[in-house]
Homo-oligomer: A and B are copies of this chain.
Amino acid sequence: MAPIHATHDQLAQVRYDADGLVPAIVQDASTGEVLMMAWMTADTLRLTLAEGRTVFWSRSRREVWRKGETSGEVQLVRSAHYDCDGDTLLFVVDQQGGGACHTGNRTCFHRAFGPAGDPAAGDA
């Protein structure tokens, strides 16, 4: 797990919401699939960059959530991006284990709107 050495100026570009959170999109480096979206605090963003693996803030449990710590489905960060107005993050990762989703699916976005919206057809 290789750390990413963000500059102070880069980190200062990130804007957090009233709860101190920023949405973080996770994309599979090998397939390009969007795997999931979760939330980070300034602290878990720093942990993610330092540890080279995604670390989120669990809004429901109100605690630091190291993705894959119990499941083994760790996400090794290849690159980390922030958007034009600094209020959304994107992590391109090597997904370890079976997938990103707690349902056992590779991506959390396995369901699609529309008549073809069954799980099999819904994979992005």
Chain A interface (Cβ < 8 Å from any Cβ of B): 4-7, 10-11, 13, 23, 25, 27, 32, 34, 36-37, 49, 79-85, 88, 90, 92, 101-103, 105, 108-115, 117, 122, 124
Contacts and interface: CB of A to CB of B under 8 A. Distances in A.
Interface SS of A by simple majority: loop
A50 to B, nearest CB: 11
A10 B83 contact: no
Given A34-B34, A117-B7, A124 B82 contact: no
Please list the 7 inter-chain residue pairs (A to B) with the smallest Cβ-Cβ separation, ordered nearest first.
Answer: A32-B32, A6-B113, A81-B109, A83-B108, A37-B88, A80-B113, A90-B109
A32 B124 CA distance: 10
A108 B101 CA distance: 25
Contact of A25 (B32, B34, B103, B111): B34
Contacts of A85: 108
A34 B27 contact: yes
A23 B37 contact: yes
Given A25-B37, A27-B34, A83-B36, A5 B49 contact: no
A43 B20 CA distance: 27
A115 to B, nearest CB: 6
